[in-house]
Structure 1
Amino acid sequence: MRGAFLKYFVVATFAALAACSRAPAPEEPSETPAVEAPEDGLNLDVWLERMEVGSRELYSAREAVLSALELEDGDIVADIGAGTGLYTLMFAEAVGAHGRVYAEDIESLFLDLINQRAEDSGFDNITAVLGRENDVTLPENTVDLVFIADTYHYFEDRETVMKSVLKALKPGGSLVVVDYDLKPGEPRPEDKGHVRFGRAGVISEIEYVGFAFVEEKTVEGLEENYFLRFAKPAE
């Protein structure tokens, strides 16, 4: 499991902080200095401090992102690459006691953290799911909405992963991808070298798997990231 973690989430989440944080002016020090992952495992306090800070766009715009998802009471949601559980906890409140949130990650220590945060917050509608590098390991045809934020472009086998996402969704269910907007024709920032393509490439890949592109939504507070919605065709 440690090897999978290094390939997927530590690298993905650690590098993604640069992708989703507003770069400081050259003369100003970074608000989130580099921190090496400890050799003996995850320092969860460090990751909480790095992931849930105002300088990170997906944190500062979290309420607007939640609103744009248009969740309803009783919905079943999957938070893929849930990390520290920031959005997982928000989803749990939004879908209510009759809903369910699957917090999927391939690092068990993050899932332990999410379980603890859920217990501390009084949520009993969160299920932690240990995924694999090429499979989100969710039950088929059970999920109303899959949410993938700041994670898609780190999947090594995106086609296989997204096929497992497609299976997990109910017919007519939604997929929302929020990721860094690599604009065509603009120079690639040095800290965005891990972003391989922009929104057009993402749309093309996800459509190829079998999803239908629905819309790109403008979300207040998202300036460096796009918000794309897809749907699983109804059977």
Structure 2
Amino acid sequence: MNKDFDGDSAHWKERFEHEGRAIYDKRFEILDAMGLKPGMDVADIGAGSGLISRLIAERVAPGGTVYAVDISRSMTDLIARTAREQNLPNLKAVLGDPHSPRLAPNSVDAVCIIDAYHHFEFHKDMLAEIRKALRPDGLLLLIDFKRIEGVSREFILNMVRAGEGTFTDEFLDAGFDLVERRGDMFPENYLLKFKHRAPPAASAPAAQ
């Protein structure tokens, strides 16, 4: 994440929440892919205007909490204000920083990072902190742009630092296991689902 989104939050809300943007058009399919249930605690990291966070908050009620994390104060202020206006008391805006989402350890059942991971300036730090926050067997859903030389649009090639393979390796190296890949859900994005990798089982003591 970076602070390029500080400033006019209404402008960014309009850009993020409109028909024709793939994430907006497929927003309910994204929720379905997360397997959300009432009572789940979820973090939306790089939440932007809070579109997905608000929808998750409705699905995990009653009993569940959504932490909408962004490093832009204008965005977290917008999310908090919208949560009040739409009576979503289980939606909490969290001001993170480039190294950490500032979530408590073992605090969430699922994490989504949607069109935001390519903005992470310190991805190793962020993934380590996300893994701490994710409960055992927790789900992490990643959606990002397909970056393919000679195929992807120029703005994607300029904005996104690496392709799907590199991003996948970064999550594997951080202690996550890839459990599902969908490359056909969006015209210019892919969806990956990871699980919190369980620690290796302790070896049984040798027989005496």
Give TM-score scaled by structure 2 length. Answer: 0.89
1:154 aligns to 2:116 (yes or no): no
Determine what percentage of the aligned residue pairs are the same residue.
Answer: 36
CA distance in 2, matches of 1:61, 1:179: 14
Q: Is the 8 A contact 1:79 1:101 kept in 2?
A: yes
Q: Structure 1 residue 232 and structure 2 residue 192: aligned? A: no
Q: Indicate yes or no: 2:76 matched with 1:111.
A: yes
In structure 1, the gaps of 5 or more residues are: 1-6, 14-40
- 1:182 maps to which of 134, 139, 147: 147
Encode CA deviations 1:115-148: one digit per residue, 9 max, x unaligned. 1111111111111111011111100011100100
Aligned to 2:85: 120
Alignment of 1:1-235 (within 5 A): 8-10=2-4, 42-183=7-148, 186-192=150-156, 193-217=158-182, 220=185, 222-235=186-199
> By how many angstroms is 1:95 displaced?
0.3
Question: 1 CA distance for matches of 2:67 and 2:154?
Answer: 34
Tell me the secondary structure at the aligned position of residue 62 of structure 2: coil
Read off the aligned partner of 2:105 and give its amino acid letter. Answer: E
C-alpha separation between the residues in 2 aligned to 1:217 and 1:74? 27
Give the secondary structure class of the aligned counterpart of 1:82.
coil
Q: Deviations over 1:171-198 (max 9, x none)?
A: 1101111000123x64453212121222
Q: Is the 8 A contact 1:178 1:226 kept in 2?
A: yes
Aligned-partner SS, 1:216: strand
- CA drift at 1:72: 0.9
**One-letter code of the match for 2:2?**
Y
**In 1, Cα distance between the equivalents of 2:3 and 2:180?**
28
- Structure 2 unaligned regions, length at least 5: 200-208
Secondary structure of 1:72's aligned partner: coil
Aligned mates of 1:212, 1:52 — CA distance in 2: 31
Separation in structure 2 between the aligned mates of residue 50 and residue 226 of structure 1, nearest angstrom: 20
Paired with 2:60 and 2:2, the residues of 1 have a C-alpha distance of: 28
Number of equivalences: 198
Question: Deviation string for 1:186-226 (max 9, x for gaps)?
Answer: 44532121212221111111100111111113564x12110
- Equivalent position of 1:20 in the other structure: none
Name the SS for the 1:123 alignment partner: coil
Structure 1 segments (4+ residues) deviating >6 Å: none
**SS across alignment from 1:148:** strand
Give the TM-score taking structure 1 as reference length. Answer: 0.79
SS at match of 2:68: strand
Other structure's SS at 1:147 match: strand
Q: Distance in 1 between matches of 2:11 and 2:187?
A: 26
